[in-house]
Amino acid sequence: MHRVDTIKNSFITMYGQDEVRGNVSLCCSALSVPRGTYYKWMKEDEEFRNAIHEKDAVLNDDLEQVLISRAVDKSDTALIYYLKYNHPKYKEEAKTLIQVNAQDMQLNFIGDESTTS
Protein backbone atom coordinates (compact mmCIF):
# COMPACT_ATOMS: atom_id res chain seq x y z
CA MET A 1 0.00 0.00 0.00
CA HIS A 2 1.32 3.46 -0.88
CA ARG A 3 1.90 6.11 1.78
CA VAL A 4 -0.91 8.30 0.38
CA ASP A 5 -3.36 5.40 0.57
CA THR A 6 -2.35 4.78 4.18
CA ILE A 7 -2.97 8.44 5.01
CA LYS A 8 -6.34 8.38 3.23
CA ASN A 9 -7.39 5.29 5.20
CA SER A 10 -6.27 6.93 8.44
CA PHE A 11 -8.25 10.04 7.49
CA ILE A 12 -11.40 8.00 6.83
CA THR A 13 -11.03 6.12 10.12
CA MET A 14 -10.42 9.29 12.13
CA TYR A 15 -13.25 11.15 10.36
CA GLY A 16 -15.76 8.65 11.74
CA GLN A 17 -14.49 8.55 15.33
CA ASP A 18 -16.63 10.04 18.09
CA GLU A 19 -13.96 12.59 19.06
CA VAL A 20 -13.88 14.01 15.53
CA ARG A 21 -17.36 13.29 14.13
CA GLY A 22 -16.81 14.60 10.64
CA ASN A 23 -14.60 17.58 11.43
CA VAL A 24 -12.34 17.96 8.39
CA SER A 25 -10.06 20.49 10.10
CA LEU A 26 -9.31 18.16 13.01
CA CYS A 27 -8.45 15.28 10.67
CA CYS A 28 -6.27 17.45 8.45
CA SER A 29 -4.43 18.88 11.41
CA ALA A 30 -3.87 15.53 13.13
CA LEU A 31 -2.54 13.91 9.95
CA SER A 32 -0.66 16.97 8.64
CA VAL A 33 -2.76 16.97 5.49
CA PRO A 34 -3.44 20.34 3.87
CA ARG A 35 -7.16 21.07 3.64
CA GLY A 36 -6.78 21.53 -0.13
CA THR A 37 -5.49 17.97 -0.37
CA TYR A 38 -8.65 16.71 1.33
CA TYR A 39 -10.79 18.53 -1.27
CA LYS A 40 -8.61 17.17 -4.08
CA TRP A 41 -9.13 13.64 -2.76
CA MET A 42 -12.89 14.27 -2.54
CA LYS A 43 -12.95 15.46 -6.14
CA GLU A 44 -10.64 12.89 -7.71
CA ASP A 45 -10.90 9.70 -5.61
CA GLU A 46 -14.33 8.08 -5.82
CA GLU A 47 -13.52 5.42 -3.22
CA PHE A 48 -12.35 8.07 -0.71
CA ARG A 49 -15.38 10.27 -1.47
CA ASN A 50 -17.80 7.36 -0.99
CA ALA A 51 -16.16 6.39 2.31
CA ILE A 52 -16.46 9.98 3.61
CA HIS A 53 -20.10 10.16 2.47
CA GLU A 54 -20.79 6.90 4.29
CA LYS A 55 -19.26 8.31 7.50
CA ASP A 56 -21.43 11.42 7.05
CA ALA A 57 -24.54 9.24 6.64
CA VAL A 58 -23.76 7.41 9.88
CA LEU A 59 -23.25 10.73 11.67
CA ASN A 60 -26.56 12.04 10.29
CA ASP A 61 -28.36 8.91 11.48
CA ASP A 62 -26.85 9.27 14.95
CA LEU A 63 -27.80 12.95 15.17
CA GLU A 64 -31.31 12.25 13.93
CA GLN A 65 -31.72 9.70 16.71
CA VAL A 66 -30.55 12.25 19.29
CA LEU A 67 -33.03 14.79 17.89
CA ILE A 68 -35.88 12.28 18.06
CA SER A 69 -34.94 11.36 21.64
CA ARG A 70 -34.97 15.02 22.65
CA ALA A 71 -38.31 15.59 20.94
CA VAL A 72 -39.78 12.61 22.81
CA ASP A 73 -38.29 13.92 26.07
CA LYS A 74 -40.42 17.08 25.77
CA SER A 75 -38.00 19.43 24.03
CA ASP A 76 -40.39 21.74 22.17
CA THR A 77 -37.63 23.09 19.94
CA ALA A 78 -36.51 19.60 18.89
CA LEU A 79 -40.11 18.55 18.34
CA ILE A 80 -40.90 21.58 16.16
CA TYR A 81 -37.70 21.15 14.17
CA TYR A 82 -38.29 17.46 13.56
CA LEU A 83 -41.90 17.90 12.48
CA LYS A 84 -41.08 20.91 10.29
CA TYR A 85 -38.61 18.91 8.23
CA ASN A 86 -40.15 15.43 8.37
CA HIS A 87 -43.93 15.69 8.50
CA PRO A 88 -45.79 16.96 5.41
CA LYS A 89 -48.45 18.70 7.52
CA TYR A 90 -45.86 20.94 9.22
CA LYS A 91 -43.48 21.63 6.34
CA GLU A 92 -43.08 25.23 5.34
CA GLU A 93 -43.58 26.00 1.69
CA ALA A 94 -40.57 27.32 -0.15
CA LYS A 95 -40.71 31.06 -0.66
CA THR A 96 -38.92 33.02 -3.31
CA LEU A 97 -37.88 36.58 -2.64
CA ILE A 98 -37.18 38.82 -5.58
CA GLN A 99 -35.84 42.26 -4.94
CA VAL A 100 -35.47 44.77 -7.74
CA ASN A 101 -33.58 48.00 -7.35
CA ALA A 102 -34.82 50.21 -10.20
CA GLN A 103 -32.13 52.78 -9.56
CA ASP A 104 -29.41 50.32 -10.57
CA MET A 105 -31.22 49.04 -13.66
CA GLN A 106 -30.01 50.08 -17.06
CA LEU A 107 -31.87 49.66 -20.34
CA ASN A 108 -29.72 48.82 -23.34
CA PHE A 109 -31.00 48.76 -26.89
CA ILE A 110 -29.51 46.41 -29.42
CA GLY A 111 -29.45 47.42 -33.10
CA ASP A 112 -28.56 50.45 -35.15
CA GLU A 113 -29.81 53.92 -34.28
CA SER A 114 -32.46 53.92 -36.99
CA THR A 115 -34.34 51.03 -35.33
CA THR A 116 -34.16 52.49 -31.84
CA SER A 117 -35.34 56.06 -32.53
Rg (CA), the chain: 25
Say how far apart CA 113 and CA 62 lie, in whole Å. Answer: 67
What pLDDT is recorded for position 66? 85
Whether the predicted model's global pTM rises above the 0.85 cut: no
pLDDT mean across residues, the chain: 84
pLDDT digits (tens, 9 = 90+) for 61-87: 888 888 888 888 888 888 788 788 877
What pLDDT is recorded for position 75? 83
Helix (H, G, I), strand (E, B) or coil at 45: coil
What does each C-alpha distance from 68 to 55, 60, 89, 112 come to in angstroms?
20, 12, 18, 66
Say how far apart CA 52 and CA 84 lie, in whole Å. Answer: 28
What pLDDT is recorded for position 105? 62
